[in-house]
Amino acid sequence: MAWRGGPGPAAPSDTLRMTITTPDLTLSRRSLLAGLLAPAALALPGCGGGDGNPIAYPPYEPPLTEPRFTPDGLAGRIVRRLRPGPGALYAATDHGAWRRGAGGWQAIGLAGQVVLDIAAIDAATLIASVERPDPQGPTHALMESRDGGLSWQALVHDFGGREGPEPVRALQVDGSRLLATGTDVLAESTDRGRRWRLLSGQWHAFTQPKDALARHPVTGDIWYGGQDAIEGFVLMCRRAADGRLDAFPGLMPNPSVAKGIRFVAGQPQRVIVSGEGGVVQTTDNGARWTRLLDADYRFHFDVLQDPQRPTRFVTAQWAKNYDDPQPLVVQVSDDDGRSWRRIQHPDARLFGGVWSMAVGVERGRTVYDLGLYRGGVMRLELPAS
């Protein structure tokens, strides 16, 4: 994946500069190179193939020497969630749901609705929590598609209990069940979102939403969080072994909110939590916590570990400004979180606040997808060292 951008003001002295490439120009150069190489390839005898046919090699890409950003579409959209699914990446935005495949981003319905989260049960079955504009106040629904987003139907469900439905804030597929959070609750469904069993909390509580949700792939513990009624940081963990609920209040100074929860490959007791004010971590399953990154009340929605370089972590920030452009600022640690360096996109006109993140490997390179507030999706590649 690659990113592009335009010129901008000079960066601070501790800010790394990066190469901004142009998709169309890159494509034309690759096409020209392929055209120049094709006749030569056809003239070569078969080598190692055993059938006399030439071997087709992918275009050569030299190693990166500096960070590279590339715009990836959905310009102007608020990209609330980026969710990996079977063979694709899904985006929940302020204007419907989208899927990214080999050909780029494609709309898959729910246009005109705010998609709070989306879960891909399989390539055909999608569940989305949506918010619909209404003069009397927004309404909410759980939607299901059984044809990969070609059509959607509202689910009749009991998320909210006897008092009626409440909004689903976060969704996660966990094998044969679906996990979800609401304003105060953690719940599970084994019938694709129709009937829900309360795991913790209470329905229709007077508090702020719990938008962060993650199940530990090794321990089975379910971590979730958000904010309380007085804008305090909330983080909870429901233990898989006995159903015990552990609370971890006050990990960041108020006002604060938990936004992202990640687990570290190869370290099952290590949990990294990002939110307003920075990033915190535990290396002993919650017994003790330390500050990993201090952001002075800027928001960090996520932290990603490089799947090819386990000691590299990447995060990005958003200053709480809904109306004006802001820099796209990424922070990278190559020493397991002990120190961080800052990378800034040079385009000062960009809505560069990051609300969602995803990571993958393409053509042997780690690629970071950054979902921006009103800026669509930006992709980032980093040098190997």
Across residues 302-312, what is the average pLDDT? 97
Q: Name the pTM for this structure.
A: 0.84
Q: 130 near 119, Cβ under 8 Å? A: no
Q: Please indicate, yes or no, if residue 374 is contained in any of the structural domains.
A: yes
- Give residue 59's pLDDT: 61
Position 344 in a domain: yes
Only one residue has tokens 């079955």, namely 125
User: Is 380 a member of any domain?
Assistant: yes
How far, rounded to the nearest angstrom, does the alpha carbon of residue 293 sit from its chain's CA centroid? 19
Q: Looking at residues 151-166, what average pLDDT do you find?
A: 97
**pLDDT exceeds cutoff 90 at 297:** no
Using pLDDT thresholds of 50, 70 and 90, give the confidence band for residue 51. very low
Residue 230: half-sphere exposure toward Cβ, Cα within 13 Å: 4
> Which of the four pLDDT bands, split at 50, 70 and 90, describes residue 294?
very high
**Residue 131's pLDDT is what?**
98
The arithmetic mean of pLDDT across residues 70-79, rounded, is 97
Largest CA distance in the chain: 74
Please state which of the ranges 20-24, 46-50, 51-55, 138-142 shows the lowest mean pLDDT. 46-50
pLDDT interval class at 102 (50, 70, 90): confident
- Model pLDDT, residue 23: 41
Average pLDDT over residues 146-165: 97
What tens digit of pLDDT does each residue of 322-366 get?
999 999 999 999 999 999 999 999 998 999 999 999 999 998 999
Helix and strand tally (H, E) in the chain? Answer: 1, 29
Burial of 321 (0-12, 13-18, 19+ CB in 10 A): exposed
Domain assignment present for residue 355? The answer is yes
* Residue 137 binned pLDDT confidence (cut-offs 50, 70, 90): confident
| Structural domain harbouring 331 | 1-33+61-71+323-385
What CA–CA distance (Å, rounded) separates 75 from 253?
34
Per-residue pLDDT, averaged over 109-133, amounts to 97
**Residue 125 pLDDT more than 60?**
yes
**Inter-CA distances, 379 with 70, 268, 358, Å:** 5, 29, 10
Pick the more confident residue, 83 or 7.
83
**Cβ–Cβ under 8 Å, residues 298 and 318:** yes
Q: Please write the tens of the pLDDT for every residue from 174-230.
A: 999 999 999 999 999 999 999 999 999 999 999 999 999 999 999 999 999 999 999
Question: Is the per-residue pLDDT at 317 higher than 80?
Answer: yes
pLDDT bucket at 69, cuts 50 / 70 / 90: very high
CB 271 within 8 A of CB 263: yes
Residues 307, 321: Cα–Cα separation, whole Å: 32
In a domain, 382, yes or no: yes
> Is 317 part of a structural domain of the chain?
no
Minimum mean pLDDT among 28-37, 103-112, 251-260, 291-300: which range?
A: 28-37
Weakest-pLDDT range from 22-36, 63-77, 267-281, 353-367: 22-36
Q: d(Cα 139, Cα 85) in Å, to the nearest integer?
A: 27
Q: Is 369 exposed, middle or buried (0-12, 13-18, 19+ CB in 10 A)?
A: buried
Ranges 37-46, 118-127, 165-174: which has the least confidence: 37-46
Q: Does residue 10 carry a pLDDT above 90?
A: no
Q: Does residue 7 lie in a domain region?
A: yes
376: in domain: yes
Q: Are 151 and 160 in contact (CB under 8 A)?
A: no
What percent of the chain lies above the pLDDT cut of 90? 79
Question: Total domain count for the chain?
Answer: 1
In DSSP terms, 365 is beta-bridged to: 362
Q: Are 198 and 163 in contact (CB under 8 A)?
A: no
